[in-house]
Structure 1
Amino acid sequence: MDERAKTLLKTLIERYIAEGQPVGSRTLSKYSGLDLSPATIRNVMSDLEEMGFIASPHTSAGRIPTPRGYRLFVDTMLTAQPLDGALNLAELTGKIRGQLHGQQLGPQRMITSAAHTLSNLSQFAGVVMTPRRAQAFRQVEFMRLSDKRILLIIVTPEGDVQNRIIQTELPYSPSQLVEAANFINSHFAGMSFDNVRDHLRGELQALRMDMSQLMQAAVEAGSNAMAEGEDDHVFISGERKLLEVEDLSSSMEKLRRLFDVFEHKTGLLKLLDVSSHAQGVQIFIGGESKLVPLEDMAVITAPYEVDGQIVGTLGVIGPTRMAYERVIPIVDITARLLSSALSQN
């Protein structure tokens, strides 16, 4: 693609993002700064359409960007500019820092505040994948409820407590339950229940049959307790703002799929998990990335850290027709400041 075609494609995408209408040759002639005849512009547009960067809606003589066109635009043509002059970079940083550091917030409140900040500044939906709960346990206790009903109490390294009721085939005395808990705590504290299961395969032969059954039941219950609620690791703010975006809600089918995205969260979890393995800002464009559940949706993400270790991902969910040069700095700065706030906390 020559420079003339790149300039026209960049101008077309910028005008479409700004106005939301298919862009014709007259608009491109006015805004591109190129001294080209309408016929020449139409020829270039035809070439760009053939290459898959733009498309022509049936109802208009103008063109709109395709996912491939957006990808080329964000990868090679974008100049990041914070918020159209409403806030410069320093003011944007100060505003986000104030949201995250302004009060004595705990880690969970900081994460919630980060999602709200992303949504408020972008006017789309803000999303944060929270740090996954520790799968290890610090200690366990057993409490006898009846002959064959036992309460398993799990304490995580952070001090969180999980309770699960175990139905057993055999009755256990309080002294036997203390013996079992002491055995698990002395041999396996600090491990995950999956690791305990692997270690127990070798240990069970040395245990009495009655204790072996209790250990196996405890490991299964503990593993299920720690794995529960994985979908709760995604916090979303501002979903309703996307209902006002015509590109995402112009039909019942689009609305249904939009609600599915936020109700089930599985697709978002996968996308955010992939983002956590990359450095810096990532841009996922629907129709181009199979990770994005809607063709007209784009997700801009960045990982955040605690003490130099990546623990989660945050981002903005919006339409493909978004002002990327505004949203990218919002996501980037929020990730950096959340990392700083969590590390200090």
Structure 2
Amino acid sequence: MDERSKKLLKTLIERYIVEGQPVGSRTLSKFSGLDLSPATIRNVMSDLEEMGFIASPHTSAGRIPTPRGYRLFVDTMLTARPLERAPEFSAELAELTGQIQGQLGGQQFGPQRMITAAAHTLSNLSHFAGVVMTPRRAQSFRQVEFMRLSDKRILLIIVSPEGDVQNRIIQTDLAYTPGQLIEAANFFNSHYAGMSFDAVRDHLRVELQDLRRDMSALMQAAVEAGSSAMAEDNEQVFISGERKLLEVEDLSSSMDKLRRLFDVFEHKTSLLQLLDVSSHAQGVQIFIGGESQLVPIEDMAVITAPYGVDGQIVGTLGVIGPTRMAYERVIPIVDITARLLSSALSQS
């Protein structure tokens, strides 16, 4: 592609992002800065369409970008300045820094609070949905406790190595006394503390014959409940601003698009996969629907960046929006939020 074609494609995508309408040759002539005849522009547009970078809706003589066109745009034509170097975004930088540092800066706030605040901030500043995948945690536990709620209902309290607490209610066939529950917790902690619940399950298969029947039943129930709690806790994704996407016509213009959009947030499987892939990359990543199988909707784009603790990558955050978004504005927002969250978590 020659420089003239690149310039016209860049202009077309920028005007489409701003206006949301198919872009015609007259608009390209006005905004491209190139001294070209309408016929020449139409010929270039025809070539770009044949190459798959733009498409022509049936209802208009203008063109719109395709996912392939957006990909070329963000990879080779986009200049995303850091917010601190963009005067027009200085107010948003101050708001972003204030929100993140104000809510994440003190040790009185735990990691979960920081992550929730980061998701809200991403949504508020981008006007789309903000998403943060929580850090992957070790599946091991530091200690467990059993608390009797009623004759056959027991509260299992799990304390992780980081000091986080998970609670699960266990329904039992037998009635346990407080003394028996203390005995069970002491056995559990003295023999298995520091292991994962899956490892404890393997040990119990061998050691069950050495335990009394009442204790073995309680141990098995605790392992199943604890394993389930750790698995759920390890797949948390915080999403803020999903409803803002309902206001984006590109994503909500049909029932089929709406259905797929709600599936993304309800099931989260594809979202988790995408965020997990992003955690293995350096810096900001851009996924565009239609050219990335990780994005389930053609008109959707996801901008992500990994965040870490003490230099170690522990999770991913990002913005979910339409392919027709102001990438040069959203990319720095995602980038600086990841850096501020990393700093806050490292200091907490």
TM-score by length of 2: 0.87
User: Is the contact between residue 134 and residue 234 of structure 2 (CA under 8 Å) also seen in structure 1?
Assistant: no
Question: For 2:36, what is the secondary structure of its paired residue?
Answer: coil
Distance in 1 of aligned mates of 2:300 and 2:102: 32
Bigger shift: residues 288-297 or 108-117: 108-117
Structure 1 residue runs without a partner (length 5+) = none
- How many angstroms does 1:273 deviate by? 1.9
Change in CA separation of 1:109 and 1:48 when aligned onto 2, cut-off 3 Å: same
User: Is the contact between residue 172 and residue 218 of structure 2 (CA under 8 Å) also seen in structure 1?
Assistant: no
Which residue does the alignment assign to 1:156?
160
Which residue does the alignment assign to 1:290?
293
Which letter does structure 1 place at the counterpart of 2:128?
A: F
Change in CA separation of 1:95 and 1:41 when aligned onto 2, cut-off 3 Å: same
User: Is the contact between residue 131 and residue 237 of structure 2 (CA under 8 Å) also seen in structure 1?
Assistant: yes
TM-score by length of 1: 0.88
Which letter does structure 2 place at the counterpart of 1:295?
A: E
Question: For 2:315, what is the secondary structure of its paired residue?
Answer: strand
CA shift digits 1:134-165 (9 cap, x unpaired):
53211123456677665533233314141331
- How many angstroms does 1:335 deviate by? 0.6
User: Is the contact between residue 151 and residue 166 of structure 1 (CA under 8 Å) also seen in structure 2?
Assistant: no
Which residue does the alignment assign to 2:112?
108
User: Is the contact between residue 164 and residue 225 of structure 1 (CA under 8 Å) also seen in structure 2?
Assistant: no
Which letter does structure 2 place at the counterpart of 1:235?
A: F
Which residue does the alignment assign to 2:172?
167
User: Is the contact between residue 152 and residue 166 of structure 1 (CA under 8 Å) also seen in structure 2?
Assistant: no
Which residue does the alignment assign to 1:71?
71
Question: For 1:243, what is the secondary structure of its paired residue?
Answer: helix
1:44 and 2:44 are equivalent in the alignment: yes
Distance in 2 of aligned mates of 1:89 and 1:305: 25
Which residue does the alignment assign to 1:257?
260
1:325 and 2:340 are equivalent in the alignment: no
Bigger shift: residues 142-151 or 276-285: 142-151
User: Is the contact between residue 92 and residue 125 of structure 2 (CA under 8 Å) also seen in structure 1?
Assistant: no
Aligned length: 342
1:55 and 2:59 are equivalent in the alignment: no
Which letter does structure 2 place at the counterpart of 1:287?
A: G
Which residue does the alignment assign to 1:29?
29
CA shift digits 1:271-306 (9 cap, x unpaired):
222212211101111111121121111111111111
Which letter does structure 2 place at the counterpart of 1:162?
A: N
CA shift digits 1:177-226 (9 cap, x unpaired):
54443332122212210122233344446556665444333212221232
Which residue does the alignment assign to 1:125?
129
Structure 2 residue runs without a partner (length 5+) = none
Distance in 2 of aligned mates of 1:110 and 1:228: 19
Question: For 1:312, what is the secondary structure of its paired residue?
Answer: strand
Which residue does the alignment assign to 1:138?
142
Which residue does the alignment assign to 2:303?
300
Which letter does structure 2 place at the counterpart of 1:280?
A: G
Distance in 2 of aligned mates of 1:143 and 1:23: 67
Which residue does the alignment assign to 1:280?
283
- How many percent identity over aligned positions? 83
User: Is the contact between residue 281 and residue 300 of structure 1 (CA under 8 Å) also seen in structure 2?
Assistant: yes
Distance in 2 of aligned mates of 1:14 and 1:215: 62
Change in CA separation of 1:35 and 1:143 when aligned onto 2, cut-off 3 Å: closer
Instruction: Within 5 Å, give how 1:213-224 maps onto structure 2.
Output: 213-224=217-228
Distance in 1 of aligned mates of 2:19 and 2:168: 55
1:4 and 2:4 are equivalent in the alignment: yes
Change in CA separation of 1:127 and 1:151 when aligned onto 2, cut-off 3 Å: closer
Bigger shift: residues 291-300 or 143-152: 143-152
Change in CA separation of 1:200 and 1:254 when aligned onto 2, cut-off 3 Å: same
User: Is the contact between residue 56 and residue 63 of structure 2 (CA under 8 Å) also seen in structure 1?
Assistant: yes
Distance in 1 of aligned mates of 2:132 and 2:122: 9
1:266 pairs, out of 254, 269, 275, with 269
Which letter does structure 2 place at the counterpart of 1:17?
A: I
Change in CA separation of 1:296 and 1:204 when aligned onto 2, cut-off 3 Å: same
Distance in 1 of aligned mates of 2:122 and 2:101: 15
Change in CA separation of 1:189 and 1:320 when aligned onto 2, cut-off 3 Å: same
Which letter does structure 1 place at the counterpart of 2:281?
A: A
Distance in 2 of aligned mates of 1:306 and 1:272: 17
User: Is the contact between residue 284 and residue 303 of structure 2 (CA under 8 Å) also seen in structure 1?
Assistant: yes
Bigger shift: residues 312-321 or 193-202: 193-202
Change in CA separation of 1:38 and 1:159 when aligned onto 2, cut-off 3 Å: closer
Bigger shift: residues 130-139 or 281-290: 130-139
- How many angstroms does 1:98 deviate by? 1.0
